[in-house]
Chain A
Amino acid sequence: MIRILIICLIFFYPNKLLALIEVDITRGNLNPLPIAVSPLSIDENSRKNFEKILKKKNIGSEIAIIVEKNLKTSGLFNPLNKDAFLQAPDIANLKPRFEDWNLIKAQALITGKVNFVEEKLRVEFRLWDVLAGKEMMALAFTTVPNNWRRVGHIITDKVYERLTGEKGYFDTRIIYVAEEGPKTRRIKKLAIMDQDGANNKFLTLGNELVLTPRFNPTSQMVTYLSYFKNLPRVYLLDIETGMQEVVGDFPGMTFAPRFSPDGKKIIMSFAKDGNSDIYTMNLENRIVEKITNHPSIDTSPSYSPDGKYICFNSDRSGYQQIYIMKSDGSSVKRISFGNGLYGTPVWSPRGDLIAFTKLHKGKFYIGVMRTDGSGERLLTENFYQEAPSWSPNGRVLIFYRETETDDKGEGFSAKLWSIDLTGYNERLVNTPTDASDPSWSSLLSN
């Protein structure tokens, strides 16, 4: 349904040997690249047609605004103010007058064109290197008009990839828990939105407590914990159809679910008689396997992207710490040895790092460490924050933060935040209600 057809590539990337602009994303970027996003040009006839269908006056400008906002949020780019643009969008897309763009200090320029073609939206865009005076990329998409926001996200992904050398993360969604009501009687619902906060939708009604939704990396399936009928169990939900089912037949609480990287298994904890161990269930043949067998609490499991290893937290040492093991449960090894407690390990989609929550001296930190536990780096400190989830390119973490209440126990709120792996670019992610437990989807289009 929401698939976009990339119909034709006009010209593919020109010769990479030319020294064109590049953006380094491995360091905190204190000098974001100045970029001009020209409104996409549109002929009067197409404009009127889209206005009728989408109730947007100028869809070309709207798409450009999405690209601009995405680029700004990434922290790597500095989109320039449109008022300073000298060249009209249609002419710029044919052949920019580079001196004009140079004058306003733009180093890169995005131009484009929107057409109404057989009831569909056709968008073409070009990325230009202003200093070198060269076209870096040109692409065109055709899709149903309702997908116009996704077109903006895909353009951003392509530009980001061309300029940084790494895949983008803009054509993605976030599933999370929407929260309302007093702290002692919170009402929680599953909710989903685009990465930029648009198209927010509630997936459950709030009749029962729901927690920790996580995306299947390969499809539009979600696994989460629901207190349906006051029995806390792991569920599967198909976002497209709304179909739900309980995962497995366990005589007690199952929780902390996550998918395996191939999307074929669910890994989770099962608690019985005061002991929580890690189990997997194969979604194809329903076979359940016990992975850990220890009288301590073993929970928050997460697979490595190749599926060969699992990281999890356990209090087998007396306190909550991070461990890794082979996916069959053998070779368990503790990797966190710093001061404090460590929880919620999540393996980066790039495979090289594990993100975690740390509690030390009454403060909560989101941090990352290498998979052998070395190179621990704390990215952010706060009164309460936890549960990081990686962007699909492994460059950004989204997590939630709760505020300290006042003397009367008031002023509680929970919000989503994101931060770059570099520790820079910390941002509040806007949600219509309070929010927690975010999980980032894979790229919707590849």
Chain B
Amino acid sequence: MKLLFSCEKVIKRNIDQGAIMKLNKILKNAFLIIVACVALSACATTTKKSGQMQGDVYTGTDTVEYLASGVPDRVFFATNESVLTTASRETLRKQAAWLRKNSNITVVLEGHADERGTREYNLALGERRANAAKDYLMTYGISSDRISVLSYGKERPVDSGSNPLAWSKNRRSVTVKAN
């Protein structure tokens, strides 16, 4: 919170100065705007990090459960995306290692979307996300007969909030033990 506050102040001062230097040349003003923008974006990234998001992908652990010690059960996605992030791939490699060790276990990958989309499209998007996770597990040697996929679209959020952080927690694929 403190960080955010000071950041805002920096921007404000810059803008104030901009107002004072009205008579200055356009070039100078443009430079100032760039400075302000840099300050703003720096500010944005700091706040997002403190809010457990990188870009709009959730990086926190509030909602995460564990399949086994050190094996997180879920991966998160950016808005409208089904691309696996570096962190997601790391999680899935841990899941693959765990699945290789426990060869009798089968899993369901449950794909989810946030509430900011139409219901039917979100069902398809959830299916696509779960399959992105499935494909990655398969490249690490897990047979496709051990993995089934189930999309819930926007029907089963973990966080009922209407804000970007809640939505980032809900854009997920969760690996659930099926037996």
Contact = CB atoms under 8 A, between A and B. Distances in A.
Contact of B120 (A184, A299, A405, A412): A299
Interface string B122-147: 01110110111001000000000000
Nearest to B130: A274
Given A343-B117, A384-B115, A409 B124 contact: no
Contacts of B124: 255, 269, 271, 276, 297, 299
B168 interface: no
A359 B117 CA distance: 8
A271 B151 contact: yes
B105 interface: no
Contacts of A402: 115
A51 interface: no
Interface residues of B, number: 30
A209 B155 contact: yes
B160 A343 contact: no
B117 A232 contact: no
Contacts of B130: 274
B120 A344 contact: yes
A139 B155 CA distance: 48
A253 interface: yes
Nearest to A312: B120
A313 B120 CA distance: 10
A183 B121 contact: no
Interface of A: 182-186, 209, 211-212, 225, 230, 232, 252-253, 255-256, 269, 271, 273-276, 297, 299-300, 313, 315, 319-320, 341, 343-344, 357, 359, 362, 383-384, 386-387, 402, 404-405, 407, 409-410, 412, 437
Contacts of B160: 182-184, 405, 409-410, 412
Contacts of B159: 184, 409
Interface in B129-179: 130-132, 135, 149-151, 155-162, 166
B121 A299 contact: yes
B151 to A, nearest CB: 6
Given A183-B160, A297-B128, A410-B160, 14 more contacts: A225-B123, A232-B123, A232-B151, A253-B123, A271-B123, A274-B135, A275-B128, A343-B118, A344-B120, A357-B118, A384-B116, A386-B118, A402-B115, A412-B160
